[in-house]
Amino acid sequence: MRIVVLAGGIGGARFLLGARRLPAEVTAIVNTGDDVTLHGLHISPDLDSVMYTLGGAADPERGWGRAGETWAVGSELAAYGAEAPWFSLGDKDIATHLVRTRMLDAGYPLSAVTAALCARWEPGITILPMTDDRVETHAVVTDDEGRRAIHFQEWWVRYRGEIPTDRFVFTGAAEAAPGAGVVEAIAAADAIVIAPSNPVVSIAPILAVPGVRDAIVASRAPVVGVSPIIDGAPVRGMADKCLATLDTEVSAAAVAGLYGPSAEGGLLDGWLVDDSDARAAVEGLPILARPLWMTTPEETEAIIRDGLGLVGVRP
């Protein structure tokens, strides 16, 4: 059995810890819209969150970066007043970015670089960047400096999302192609699962890469999604602020509405909501309510099994 998961960073990584327990070949298609170049280093926050988490190397409290991290290089950069002092860079993490940047500079695509990094971490699943091309999520904001577009990382890390925001744009997405293996994995899937990742800045950029959405719609595999919104609020992160830019209500049903039921040309054949949202309804979409807290990998596996069951797949 082959299962494809669309995933962002921290929520996606936690979800994949559960997916990895299934008797299935799991392929994660991961958002790269958060990627940013700082100090000449190519940083892929969501790919690294997934790789470190599944490799058992992530910091459990922070949720991102490496456990047992030290910060010597970052404080030295700050002492020079080097660019982007608001972005923390751990020493161990920097080694990952150095290897990635060197390989990219040598001409390897990001997919090959990711595979090379994963050879060390043995995540137990296949991790594919959504694209090998450069795509960056930018937030269109208005502040004292006027109306401008800033990188998603600056929006989130520097301003904590607390800045008037019109919308997000996925710069470069229209000219991008699906990453190596992405379309093939979707075509070969027995089931496609949308992780409870941020729908606006983690899943939407993946779907904005031309060819990805079409491949999902064309696939014979059923698609089931898991709500990142529980009882009208994101479990963690800024999905509420992101949904506001789309004039979308912060609810489990509204997120399902963004993906759309397959019966109406959308993606979903099934949608999981938390028990607290048991009354959520979307016309033409089978919905199952059950607890959606990813407390342990075992519990997350049970969530995914129920989701697969809803669309008639038994791993």
Token pair of 309 as six digits: 């069951």
For position 90 contacting Ca ion by CB under 5 A, the verdict is no
Give the three-state DSSP class for 30: strand
Q: Please check whether residue 47 is in contact with residue 91, taking contact to mean a CB–CB distance below 8 angstroms.
A: no
Provide the sign of the torsion angle of the four alpha carbons 45, 48, 52, 54, taken in this order: positive
Residue number with CB closer to ligand GDP (77 or 155): 155
* Contact of 10 with 63, CB cutoff 8 Å: yes
CB of 279 to ligand GDP, least distance (A): 17
Nearer to Ca ion, 153 or 262 (CB): 153
Q: Minimum distance between the CB of residue 283 and Ca ion, rounded to whole angstroms?
A: 31
CA 133 to chain CA mean position, Å? 17
Query: Any idea how long the chain is?
Result: 315
Of 35, 46, 48, 132, the one binding Ca ion (CB under 5 A) is 46
Q: Which is nearer to ligand GDP, 193 or 239 (CB)?
A: 239
Token pair recorded at residue 298: 């075992």
Q: Does position 8 bind Ca ion by CB under 5 A? A: yes
Nearer to ligand GDP, 77 or 114 (CB): 114
The stretch among 9-17, 77-85, 244-252, 300-308 that binds Ca ion (CB under 5 A) is: 9-17
Residue 114 · residue 129 · CB < 8 Å: yes
DSSP 8-state class, residue 10? H
Query: Could you tell me the smallest distance in angstroms from the CB atom of residue 51 to ligand GDP?
Result: 13
Q: Are 259 and 225 in contact (CB under 8 A)?
A: yes
Tokens of residue 304, six digits? 């995914």
Q: Which residues bind ligand GDP (CB under 6 A)?
A: 7-12, 14, 46, 49, 196-198, 202, 226-228, 230, 234-237, 239, 292-294
Cα 278 from chain centroid?
A: 25
Task: Report the C-alpha gap between 26 and 3 in whole angstroms.
Answer: 5
Q: How far is the CB of 81 from ligand GDP (least distance, A)?
A: 28
Choose one: 1-9, 75-83, 259-267, 295-303; the region binding Ca ion (CB under 5 A).
1-9
Q: Please report how close the Cβ of residue 256 comes to ligand GDP at its closest, in angstroms.
A: 13
Contact 54, 20 (CB under 8 A): yes
Please state, in angstroms and rounded to a whole number, the distance separating the CA atoms of residues 78 and 171. 28
Stretch that binds Ca ion, among 19-27, 41-49, 215-223, 307-315 (CB under 5 A): 41-49
- Nearest residue (CB) to ligand GDP, 114 versus 227: 227
- For Cα atoms 69, 74, 79, give the angle at the middle one, nearest 5 degrees: 145
Min. distance of Cβ 195 from Ca ion in angstroms? Answer: 12
- List the one residue from 3, 9, 43, 294 that touches Ca ion (CB under 5 A): 9
Positions 13 through 32 that interact with Ca ion (CB under 5 A): none
Residue nearest to Ca ion (CB): 9
Q: Report the nearest approach of ligand GDP to the CB of residue 79 (Å).
A: 29
Tell me how far apart the terminal alpha carbons of the chain are, to the nearest angstrom: 7
Site residues (vs Ca ion, CB under 5 A): 8-9, 34, 46
